[in-house]
Structure 1
Amino acid sequence: MARIEHFNNPNAPKPNSIVVAVTVFVQDEQGRVLLIQRTDNGLWALPGGAQDFGEYIAETAVRETREEAGVEIEVTGVVGIYTNPKHVVEYSDGEVRQQFSICFRGRYVSGEPAISDESSAVRWVAHDELGELLIHPSMRLRIDTGLEQRSEPYIG
């Protein structure tokens, strides 16, 4: 399913849904960030996705990281909560979703980065390489906030 990100776009379609979703900020022992290249829009992003019925939200973070990146993590905290109403995602099936995402901090446990149906590339990315990748501004905000190592989560 195709996906179009609308960010601060006054001509964006009006949202018709809000879905609880997560992203996961995890670093390896060298401080590199785990990123995937999404198959639906080609952009680089933290692994993540929507919560399923019957699971705790931290379980969503673990499952999505495993499914999209092939890596096992343990949730250790919250980077931030991202609810910008000026960020909507338009899907080819007619859904227009207002952003609601909890970005968790995760600790790498095991596994090697591996692609999936939702990721065409997966790799650990050094801070100085981030500028070379196509990353949506809202995702870059999550990554930058994760790198800041704040004592309190970002809320916005």
Structure 2
Amino acid sequence: MTHAPDHPRLSGYAVVVHDGAVLLSGLTGDERWTLPGGGVDFGEHPADAAVREAREETGLEIALGDLLGIDSLVVVAGETGEQQHAVRVLYTATVVAGELAAEADGSTDRVAWHRLDGLDRLPLVELVRTALSLAGHDVPADREGVVDAG
């Protein structure tokens, strides 16, 4: 998805929690974990983007549940160092089909279920904590020095 640096980047993300574990994708070239999801294509609804991105990043088909909320913040884009206004639409979701498989040649390169009570030992982008909190889950303390606003 292309966008001007002075315009917000809209994206949709899925919070998939099952049996005390949350589905997370590992960022390519980065140790941090994030939620399945990503940028909205032109003309695409954020809910459709969340479903599409989850399929691409995890190999799983999901069904969206509730709209959890919208997270809006300014971040520094990785390689360019430019500021970017990120607007992330967050949904609950459940798995309906598919086999867990990592994305090939994409923004993520790992996928796994991680126990909610073990997230304090993982490097997470802040979006994971924000979304889990909105979904009513206890969010463990940050792992010192690893979590950022990504």
Superposition TM-score tier, normalisation by shorter sequence: 0.7 to 0.9
Could you tell me which runs of 5 or more consecutive residues in structure 2 were left unpaired when the two chains were aligned: 139-150
Aligned counterpart in structure 1 of residue 128 of structure 2, from 139, 146, 156: 139
Distance 1:124 1:68 in 2: 13
| 1:51 and 2:35 correspond | no
Give the deviation of 1:73 after TM superposition.
0.4
Identity %: 33
Name the counterpart of 1:24. 14
| 1:75 and 2:71 correspond | no
Q: TM-score, with normalisation over the residues of structure 2? A: 0.77
Correspondence 1:97-108 to 2 at 5 A: 97-108=84-95
Give the deviation of 1:71 after TM superposition.
1.0
Give the deviation of 1:61 after TM superposition.
0.9
Name the counterpart of 1:148. 137
User: Residues 6-59 of structure 1, C-alpha deviation per residue, up to 9 Å, x if partnerless?
Assistant: xxxxxxxxx63311111110122x131100111053310101111112322211
| 1:120 and 2:109 correspond | yes
Greater RCO, CA 8 A, separation 6+: 1
Aligned counterpart in structure 2 of residue 60 of structure 1, from 38, 46, 49: 49
Name the counterpart of 1:10. none
Could you tell me which runs of 5 or more consecutive residues in structure 1 were left unpaired when the two chains were aligned: 1-14, 150-156
Aligned counterpart in structure 2 of residue 90 of structure 1, from 65, 68, 77: 77
Off by >3 Å, runs of 4+ in structure 1? none
Q: TM-score, with normalisation over the residues of structure 1? A: 0.75
1:89 touches 1:99 (CA, 8 Å); kept in 2? no
Cα RMSD (Å) of the superposition? 2.1
Name the counterpart of 1:7. none
1:17 touches 1:95 (CA, 8 Å); kept in 2? no
Distance 2:20 2:37 in 1: 19
